Amino acid sequence: MGLVRDVTSCSTSVVSELDRQLIAQINLIVPNVLVSFIDLNVDIGEPVWPLLQPPAKAALARAISDRGRQMVVNSAYRTIAQQLILFNHAQRNRCGISIAALPGLSNHQSGLALDVEDAAGWEPFLERHGWRRLMPQDPVHFDYLGSGTTDIRGTAVRAFQQLWNLNNPNGRLTVDGSYGPQTQTALNSSPIEGFANGDRIPLDVRKRRLGSRLLRLTRPILEGEDVRELQIALNKVGFNLEVDGYFGPSTDEAVRKFQTDKGLVVDGIVGPATLEALNMRLQTAA
């Protein structure tokens, strides 16, 4: 089992299992302080944790709705394990990284930060809802400055210290939320696959599940794992859709046909009533 200090990969996804424990521990300290925004119209990469504090998520939802298109998010919440990998890379001039903040100091540990594609296009919509560009040298980065949030960067450190102590009773750290040399040594010595003890957040935090949002034909076209699940379900009850994860005209037509057959309101919207009817039909088809 590899350790954080041994990571040379440019992708921080190698510590995903440790990340799941760190995030779960944060939400144990401050319940539901980090919530998933994967149910919004966003596209994320593998290393990205789509997590924000609730007020920031609500503001992001309004910005995305205002613009009416999908947002590509390249970075959101970043665990201190991910941050240490970036810091280690910067210290060794790896992966084209020349500077990186110490864990616990990066805004990406706040649950209030995003890096997005097409930042110039998104700027007026994000700013309208409390997001700001604070670092001219990092033009893709936005921070949420609205009310109702809390600084959880120290909480992220405290969560690791608690997790470490749970698994290392003979080499305990002081749980003070301060990222000092002992904490850094311990984090570097942590297993990338996670500790033996400690809760983990669900894997589906990065995946949309069918029913997590209303599905319909929109511009731009909705896409995601939930659309793929819908297409698979419709095929099981007699349709012949391409399972591509895109809610296009063919999927819309199938939904409307299903609604007609079941005596539902024919609006092409996959909401609670349509899902209930679809689930009942799946049970009888099994």
What phi and psi, each to the nearest 5 degrees, are found at residue 201? -70, 155
Give me the mean pLDDT over the 111-134 stretch.
97
Where in the sequence of the chain do the CATH 1.10.101.10 domains occur? 208-278
Give backbone dihedrals phi and psi of 23, rounded to 5 degrees, phi first: -65, -40
pLDDT value for 213: 80
User: Is residue 277's pLDDT more than 90?
Assistant: yes
CATH superfamily of 208-278: PGBD-like superfamily/PGBD (1.10.101.10)
Helices 80-91, 181-188: crossing angle, 10 deg rounding = 90
pTM, 2 dp? 0.78
**Cβ distance 209 to 199 under 8 Å?**
no
- Where in the chain are all domains bearing CATH 3.30.1380.10? 4-152
Average pLDDT over residues 236-256: 95
Q: Which of 13-17, 213-217, 250-254 has the lowest mean pLDDT?
A: 213-217
Mean of the pLDDT values across residues 168-195? 98
Determine which of 34-48, 227-241, 267-281 has the lowest per-residue pLDDT on average: 34-48
pLDDT bin (cut points 50, 70, 90) of residue 206 is confident
pLDDT of 91 > 90? The answer is yes
> What's the mean per-residue pLDDT of the chain?
94
pLDDT over threshold 80, residue 1: no
CA distance 33 to 150: 9
Q: Residue 137: its pLDDT value, please?
A: 87
Pair type for strands 131-132 and 113-116: unpaired
Tens-digit pLDDT profile for residues 135-164: 888 999 999 999 999 999 999 999 999 999
* Per-residue model confidence as pLDDT tens digits over 15-28: 999 999 999 999 99
Whether the predicted pLDDT of 46 surpasses 80: no
Confidence at residue 39, expressed as pLDDT on a 0 to 100 scale: 85
Give me the CATH topology for the region 4-152: Muramoyl-pentapeptide Carboxypeptidase; domain 2 (3.30.1380)
pLDDT number for residue 68 = 87
pLDDT at 285 (0 to 100): 74
Q: How far apart are CA 76 and CA 78, in angstroms?
A: 6
List, for residues 68-87, the tens digit of each pLDDT value.
888 999 999 999 999 999 99
Q: Which two tokens stand for residue 34?
A: 């980090």
pLDDT score recorded for residue 220: 74
Note whether 188 and 87 are within 8 A (CB). Answer: no
pLDDT of residue 286: 64
Is the Cβ–Cβ distance between 52 and 144 less than 8 Å?
A: yes
